[in-house]
Amino acid sequence: MLKGIINYSHYLMQEAVNQGDTIIDATCGNGHDTVFLSKIAGQEGHVFGFDIQDQAIAHTNELLAQNGSTNTTLIKDSHSNLLHHIPVDRLTRLGGAIFNLGFLPGSDKSIITQSETTILAIESMLLHLKQNGIIVLVVYHGHEGGDQEREELMRYVRQLNQYHYQVLFYGFVNQKNDPPFILAITKHE
């Protein structure tokens, strides 16, 4: 059976990340990915969650508390500033990161992710990502500004050196209304 987009993004993370790794949730949203990542990081690992919206940080905090997660740090800032917030000893154990691009469901739809900050974050992550680590981007593009973000991200990932990185595209091409898709980058140098 083919996995849905969210299930497949979680599958990819679970396959690449080891307990004890550092993991980044680049867009906390409502906190579901953050809780999932907290479980796969284990007590020796750590999750750093980023979001620019108070509502997202509050929802994620609530969900983490309900699940007893204690290995997570939430940061109200852009994911493009991740190097300012993550200690070097944690960056050296960067096993993976996940993004859900678009807007926060149930919030102001004019606040959207931007390809410029996403690409800056990816570049910072690639510098520190361990061998066979993964960056998963779930690209929701069916909103105003989404087409531009999609095109700029595709242009960026296509130029990544194939001798150092593999880039996977996973999506359902026969669904209506701009279905989301996954871009996954693995480092194999």
pTM above 0.85, yes or no: yes
* Mean pLDDT within 177-184: 94
pLDDT given at position 98: 98
**pLDDT tens for residues 98-115?**
999 998 888 888 888 999
**Average pLDDT across the chain, whole number:** 94
For residue 136, being part of any structural domain is answered with: no
CATH number, domain with residue 55: 3.40.50.150
**pLDDT tens for residues 5-56?**
999 999 999 999 999 999 999 999 999 999 999 999 999 999 999 999 999 9
Domain count across the chain: 1
For residue 138, being part of any structural domain is answered with: no
User: If we measure between CA atoms, which residue out of 53, 128, 38 comes closest to residue 91?
Assistant: 128
For residue 61, being part of any structural domain is answered with: yes
For residue 133, being part of any structural domain is answered with: no
* Chain-centroid distance, C-alpha 75: 14
Instruction: Residue 35: give the domain boundaries.
Output: 1-110+162-171+185-189
Q: Determine which of 43-47, 92-96, 177-181, 183-187 has the lowest per-residue pLDDT on average.
A: 177-181
**pLDDT tens for residues 111-170?**
889 999 999 999 999 999 999 999 999 998 988 888 899 999 999 999 999 999 999 999
For residue 177, being part of any structural domain is answered with: no
Give one DSSP letter per residue of 117-172, joined into a string.
HHHHHHHHHHHHPPTT-EEEEEE---STTHHHHHHHHHHHHHTS-TTTEEEEEEE-
For residue 118, being part of any structural domain is answered with: no
For residue 27, being part of any structural domain is answered with: yes
CB 140 within 8 A of CB 118: no
For residue 29, being part of any structural domain is answered with: yes
